[in-house]
Structure 1
Amino acid sequence: MVPSNISSEQKLVIGLMSGTSLDGVDAVLATFDPAPQTLADAYIPFDAELKSLLLSLNTAQPDELHLSARAANELSIRYAEVVQLLLAKANVRAEDILAIGNHGQTIRHRPDYGYTLQIGNHALLAELTGIPVVGDFRSRDIAAGGQGAPLVPAFHLNLFASDTQHVGVLNIGGIANLTCLPAGGGMVRGFDTGPGNLLMDYWCGKHTGFPYDKAGAWAKSGTLIPSLLADWLAHAFFHLPPPKSTGRDLFNPAWLESHELHQYQAQDVQATLLALTATSVANSVKIHLPEAEILYLCGGGAHNMALREHIASLLPDTHIGVTDDTGVPGDTLEAFAFAWLAWRFCQRQTGNLPQVTGARGERILGAYFPA
C-alpha cells in the first residue's frame, strides 16, 4: 500500500545500488522536483568476506536461508554506513530525506519461475538511518507477468530521449543491459544483452590476482579465439527476443569453466570474453536500434577502454560516448535510477515500462518501510 501521509515538502531522495559485480554500494542524493538532479554521491566497497558470502548465495547450498538472512543484515549495515557518509558529505539531515530507494543485492533472478530475490533488510535499514525505505522494486512487475528487469530504461527515457536522434544507453555492470530510445518518442525497448564485466572479472581475478582488468590492458595482450567466441554466442539466451533478462544464475564461473578452457592461453580467453560482451552488445544494437546515432555507456565497464574500442569497431556508424558527456555520471546512474523509482513510489506513480519488461501493464513498484 502506498502511504497517504508522505510529506509533500520533502524533495530529497537517496538511491542505493549494489550490483552484479559485487564490488560495493553506490549512493546518490537526488531531487526530482522540478527536474532530475544529483546533489552528492558516496561509495563504500564490500570487504572480501561479504563479497564471498554474496557470491556463494548465487548457487544452492546447505543452510542458505540462514546465510541469506545474515547477508541481508550485513548488507543493511553497509547501506546505513554509506547513507551516513552521503548525508555528511552533503551536510543534510536524515529528517530532510523523503525516502531511500534501495535496490538490494540480487542473489537469484528466475522470472521463468515467477520470482526474483534481492536481499537487504529494509526494515533494519530504516531503523539504522531513521529514514523511510522503499525496496523490493522488481517483485510487482514479475507478479504482473514481467521479467522484473531491466527497470532503468524508464529512467533513461526521462534523461536521454531525443526528438532528433536515435539514442542507445548501455549499462555495463556485471551484466550488460541496453535501452533503445528511437527519435521522436518511438517504442522504447530495453533488455539484458548478456555478460558485462562479471566473467571478465572472474577470469582476471583467477589468473592475475587483480579484481578486474584495468582499461582492458590484459585482454588487449591476448588474441581472440574465434571458435570459442562462436561457441559462446550459440547460447540460446543471445537469440531470444526481448523482453529478456539474466544474471549469475545463467552466466557464472561454472558455465564458463565448462568450455574446457585449459587448452587456451589465459590472456586469449580474456580477449575472447571481452569480445563476447562487445559482440553481444553490438548485435543487439544492430537488431533493435539499427539506426542508432549515439550509444551512451555507463557503469564500471565504461572505463574499460579496450571494450569501448571493440564496441566502436563493431558499430562504425554509431558514436560511442559516455553518459558523463550529458552531465549524468555513469558510475552512479543506477543508484540515481532507484532514487527516481522511490520518488515515483512516493508520488503514487508507476515505475515500469510494460513493453520493456513484458508486464501486463504499468505498476507502482516497491514496498514501503517507515522510519
Structure 2
Amino acid sequence: MLKAISGTGVLRALGAMSGTSLDGVDAAIVETDGVSIARFGESGYRAYSRAEQQVLEAALGHWSGAEADAAAQVVEVAHAEALSGFETADLVGFHGQTLAHEPRGRGTCQVGDGQTLTEALGVPVVWDFRTADVGLGGEGAPLAPFFHFACAKWFGATEPVAFLNLGGVGNLTWVDPSKASAETNGALLAFDTGPANAPINDLLRARCGLGFDEGGQVAAKGTVATGALELFLQEAYFTRMPPKSLDRNDFPEMMDLVHELSDADAAATMTAMCAASVAQGMAHCPSPPSRVLVTGGGRHNPVLMEMLRVSLDCPVVAVEEVGLDGDMLEAQAFAYLAVRVARGLPTSCPATTGVMALVGGGTVSEPSA
C-alpha cells in the first residue's frame, strides 16, 4: 500500500483534527496529489462528551503519565468513531491532541497512536506531524500554511491574502499566490497571533457553566476594560518576530486581568484581547493582504468579527466567502499534509515555523498484514 500512495496521482485522503478548544473531532476528505487540490469531499464531526472533555482538560500540560495515557485513549476512540463512518480513503492524516507545546524547551506533545488507529481503520495513517520540525529547530506550528497556499490557488487568488484561524489559539498565514509553490521564497509567512477562543471558553465554563460564548451573546453585553487590554498587549510575545508559536495556556495572566470584572465585561475584554493580538500580528506581514479570510470557531462570534473589522485595514470575511468550509479547514489541512508526507514533500519551511530548512514531518503507519 505504501508504494501505491507514494506515486504521483490524486489520492482520496481523510484528515482529522482535534484542536485546543477541545470541542470534538473534525474529519474531512480532500482529493489531492499533494500539490494542488482536485476536490473537497464529505466531512463529519464527532463531539466530545463533557466527561471526555474533562479527561482531556486534566491532561493539558502533561507530557506523559496516567493523565496523558487517559487522554490518548479518549482521542483514539473518538477518532476511530469519527473516521470509520467514511467510505473508502487511501490514507488518513491524524494530528492527535496537543497536550503541551514548548518548541524552545521540551518540544511538542500530541497524544494518540497512529498505529492503533491504522489497525482500527485498515488504511495507512500519517501522524506525528510536528516532531521532525521541532527537531530541526522549528516551532512545530502552525502546520496549515502549505495547505493555505493550495487553497489560495484553488479559489483563484491573484493578490496576497491572509488566512486567520481562530481556534483555541489564533494563527495567521500570509500567502502570496503569485509564487509558483509554497516552497518558493516569499510565498508564505505564518505564526500564532495570540490566545483566541480557549481562554474565553475557560472563563465562561468556570463562571457561567457555558461551553463557549455562543454568538458572542455574553461579550455583546459587556464593556471592554481598556486598562486590562493595555496590560495584556505589553506581553513580550507580541514584539517577537515570527515565525513563533504558542501553547494553549501560555497567557495565564489573562484570567487575572479580568478577575474583578463582571462576566460580560470579562468576556468582552478577552474577546478584545484576541482581536488586538491579531492586529498586532498584522504588522509583521510582508505586505498588506487584500483581505483576511477567517476560519475556525471564532468566525461565528459576531462581536469578535466586528472588532477585527474595526481594527484591521482590509476586508475581514469568513472563508465561506471564497467557497471554503471554515469548520473543516484544519481537518482538510491534515488530509492534504498526509499526502505530502507520503510522497516525501515538505510540510513546513523557515517562513512558516522557523525550521532551518524545508522539512517533511510525519510517520506513516500501515495495517498489519
Taking structure 2 as the reference length, the TM-score comes to: 0.91
Aligned mate of 1:356, from 348, 352, 360 = 352
1:171 corresponds in structure 2 to 165
2 CA distance for matches of 1:326 and 1:166? Answer: 14
Match of 1:19 in 2: 19
CA contact (8 A) 2:170 2:194 kept: yes
8 Å Cα contact 1:18-1:104 kept in structure 2:
yes
* Inter-partner Cα distance in structure 1 for 2:18 and 2:148: 19
Structure 1 window deviating more from structure 2 (341-350 vs 26-35): it is 26-35
Query: How far did 1:80 drift?
Result: 0.8
Question: Structure 1 residue 264: deviation in Å?
Answer: 1.9
CA distance in 2, matches of 1:188, 1:5: 31
Q: Structure 2: how far apart are the matches of 1:183 and 1:130?
A: 37
Conserved 8 A contact 1:16-1:102: yes
Partner residue in 1 for 2:362: 366
Give the distance between the partners of 2:157 and 2:70, measured in 1 at CA. 48
Q: What secondary structure, in the 3-state scheme, does the structure 2 residue paired with 1:103 have?
A: strand
SS at match of 1:177: strand
Whether 1:265 aligns to 2:257 is no
Does 1:293 find its partner at 2:290? yes
The structural deviation recorded for 1:207 is: 2.3
**How do residues 93-112 of structure 1 correspond to structure 2 at under 5 angstroms?**
93=88, 97-112=89-104
AA at the equivalent of 1:169: F
Following TM superposition, by how much is the alpha carbon of 1:84 offset from its aligned partner in structure 2, in angstroms? 1.6
Cα contact 1:15–1:340 (8 A) shared by 2: yes
What does residue range 41-190 of structure 1 map to in structure 2 within 5 Å? 41-60=43-62, 64-85=64-85, 87=86, 92-93=87-88, 97-160=89-152, 164-182=158-176, 184-185=178-179, 186-190=186-190
**C-alpha contact 1:194 1:277 (8 A) present in aligned 2:** yes
- SS at 1:104 equivalent: strand
Q: CA deviation at 1:70?
A: 2.6
Q: Shift of the alpha carbon at 1:349?
A: 1.2
In 1, the alpha carbon distance for the partners of 2:281 and 2:157 equals 22
Mapped contact 1:114–1:143 kept (Cα < 8 A): no
Q: Which has the higher helix share?
A: 1
Query: How high is the TM-score relative to the length of structure 1?
Result: 0.91
Structure 1 stretch 174-183 or stretch 325-334: which is displaced more? 174-183
1:180 partner letter: W
Cα distance change of structure 1 residues 255 and 229 upon mapping to structure 2, 3 Å threshold: same
Q: How many residues align?
A: 356
Partners of 1:289 and 1:266 in 2: how far apart? 38
1:214 paired residue number: 214
Tell me the CA shift for residue 356 of structure 1. Answer: 1.5
Correspondence 1:346 to 2:342: yes
Structure 2 unaligned regions, length at least 5: 180-185
Gapped runs of 5+ residues in structure 1? Answer: none
The residue type equivalent to 1:354 in the other structure is: P
In structure 1, distance between residues paired with 2:130 and 2:103: 10
SS at match of 2:359: coil
Q: Which residue of 1 aligns with 2:275?
A: 278
**What's the C-alpha RMSD, in Å, of the aligned pairs?**
2.0
Q: 1:10, CA displacement in angstroms?
A: 7.3
Contact 1:170 1:179 in 2 (8 A): yes
Give the aligned partner of residue 335 of structure 1.
Answer: 331
Cα distance in 1 for residues equivalent to 2:337 and 2:18: 15
> Partner of 2:183 in structure 1?
none
